[in-house]
Amino acid sequence: MKQLGLFFILGLFLVGCTTGQIIEKKEYAPAIEALKTDNRKLALNRFPNKEESHFIPLLEKVYLQLIDDVDVISKASKETPEFTQLLRESREIERNEKLSVSNEIGQLFFIKTDEGYYPANHEIFWMHYLLGLTFVKRNQIASARVEAKRISELFTRVDMSGKPFYDNAGTRILSASLWAMCGEKENAIVDLRKAEAMGGFVGANQYETKPLNWNLLFKGTGFNPDSNSSSFSDKISGFKTIQFSSDIPLKDVPVSKAGSSRIVFSSKPWHSENLVRNESFKETIQKSKYMSRMFKSELEYQSLNLITSVATGVVLATGITVGVAIVGGGIYLLAQSGASGGATEGIAQIMGIGLIAGTEIYSSGMRFYDSTQLKIQSERKEFQDVSRFYRYVRFVPDYFVLDADLSSTTKKPAFLQNESSSGRIRLQFEP
**Structural domain boundaries, residue 380:** 298-386
Residue 29 included in any domain: no
320 and 285 in a single domain? The answer is no
Residue 382 included in any domain: yes
378 and 403 in a single domain? The answer is no
The rounded distance, in Å, linking the Cα atoms of 344 and 338 is 13
DSSP for 337-399, written as a single string: TT--TTHHHHHHHHHHHHHHHHHHHHHHHHHHHHHHHHHHHHHHHHHH-GGGS--------SE
Residue 302 included in any domain: yes
Residue 18 included in any domain: no
Dihedral sign from CA coordinates of 232, 56, 46, 12: positive
Tell me which residue of 220, 323, 211, 333 sits closest to 268, measured CA to CA: 220
The rounded distance, in Å, linking the Cα atoms of 51 and 199 is 39
378 and 400 in a single domain? The answer is no
Q: Tell me the three state secondary structure of residue 199.
A: coil
Q: Chain centroid to CA 158: how far?
A: 27
Provide the domain count of the chain.
2
Residue 25 included in any domain: no
280 and 378 in a single domain? The answer is no
148 and 201 in a single domain? The answer is yes
272 phi, psi to nearest 5 deg: -65, -45
Sequence-ordered list of residues with C-beta below 8 angstroms from that of 224, at least 6 positions apart, any chain: 25, 32, 244, 245, 246, 247
pTM above 0.85, yes or no: no
Residue 284 included in any domain: yes
Q: Determine how many CB atoms are found less than 10 A away from the CB of residue 382.
A: 11
End-to-end CA distance of the chain: 57
User: Using one digit for the tens of pLDDT, what is the confidence trace for 52-102?
Assistant: 889 999 999 999 999 986 566 666 677 889 999 999 989 888 776 555 555
The rounded distance, in Å, linking the Cα atoms of 253 and 296 is 37
270 and 310 in a single domain? The answer is no
The rounded distance, in Å, linking the Cα atoms of 307 and 319 is 18
Last residue of a domain, one of 371, 386, 401: 386
283 and 302 in a single domain? The answer is no
107 phi, psi to nearest 5 deg: -100, 125
261 and 162 in a single domain? The answer is yes
The rounded distance, in Å, linking the Cα atoms of 176 and 150 is 13
| CA distances, 207 to each of 148, 179, 204, 211, 409 (Å) | 19, 13, 6, 6, 19
pLDDT the model gives residue 332: 40
220 and 87 in a single domain? The answer is yes
Residue 26 included in any domain: no
Tell me which residue of 182, 92, 110, 113 sits closest to 145, measured CA to CA: 182
The mean pLDDT values, 10 residues at a time, for the chain of 431 residues are 42 40 89 95 93 91 88 71 92 68 52 76 93 95 96 81 79 96 95 91 89 94 80 54 88 79 90 80 69 56 49 46 44 46 47 51 57 58 70 94 77 88 93 93
Dihedral sign from CA coordinates of 389, 116, 57, 413: negative
71 and 169 in a single domain? The answer is yes
Residue 7 included in any domain: no
Sequence-ordered list of residues with C-beta below 8 angstroms from that of 147, at least 6 positions apart, any chain: 128, 129, 131, 132, 135, 178
364 and 243 in a single domain? The answer is no
216 and 357 in a single domain? The answer is no
pLDDT the model gives residue 9: 38
